[in-house]
Structure 1
Amino acid sequence: MATTSHPSFIIVGLTIAGKRFRPSDWAERLCGVLSAFGAEKKMRYSPYVGPRTYKGEKAVFVDGRLYEVEPMAYRFVLHFAQDNDLQLIQDLV
């Protein structure tokens, strides 16, 4: 994996106060904003941003290399988490 000066992080679907973030498909919607349609006319998520689960909660995993490819997209997902008071897990190995 290539090194980057920007950290990878996970946006967890829980607010800082511990409430579940709504709507329930928020992670897919957020990743959909950064997706593209391939030749087979199917949506493909970015290789740097993907919806998954983290400890049983919906989450979005963000690879720090996204900043090298598209700094505005990296800042967009980071600000989305901050603006919605969502939990961030940083310093991933």
Structure 2
Amino acid sequence: MVSPSTKEVFIQGITHDGKTFRPSDWAERLAGVMSQFRPGGSRPGSHLSYSPWCIPTTLNGVKCVVVHRDLQNHEPMAWDFVINFARDNNLQVAEACLLPDAPPPKA
């Protein structure tokens, strides 16, 4: 399903049938569950922010969760959980690389 050389996987809120996945806050919920899995492990208060390895976002109007390959290296069971979540819910998965936002144009 996912190439081992890919650095990031995008789980998209669109099923293979083209339907929008519900509930509408699924990406935030999934990323919230994964918030404890982070570089250096869980710390007090870490549940208050998303893990850099599992980030909810919206791309072209579609809710997505960007999952970084480092999650698999450090927490294989957590990686399996998110990949199986996508598979079990028939969600589209794309292998890609999230690029940083472009700096604002200079005046």
TM-score exceeds 0.5: yes
1:37-48 to 2 correspondence within 5 Å? 39=44, 43-48=48-53
Runs of 4+ that moved beyond 3 A: 36-42
1:23-62 to 2 correspondence within 5 Å? 23-36=23-36, 39=44, 43-62=48-67
Structure 1 residue 44: Cα displacement = 1.3
* Identity across matched positions, percent: 45
Structure 1 residue 25: Cα displacement = 0.3
Q: Secondary structure, in 3 states, of the residue corresponding to 1:27?
A: helix
> Highest Rg: 1 or 2?
2
Over 3 Å counting, the alpha-carbon distance change for 1:47 and 1:16 in structure 2 is same
Over 3 Å counting, the alpha-carbon distance change for 1:23 and 1:66 in structure 2 is same
- Supply the AA of the counterpart residue of 2:11: I
Write the distance in 2 (CA, Å) between the matches of 1:87 and 1:24: 16
Over 3 Å counting, the alpha-carbon distance change for 1:21 and 1:38 in structure 2 is same
Q: Any stretches of 5+ residues in structure 2 without a counterpart?
A: 37-41, 98-107
TM-score, structure 2 normalization: 0.73
Write the distance in 2 (CA, Å) between the matches of 1:25 and 1:61: 15
| Root mean square deviation, CA, Å | 1.9
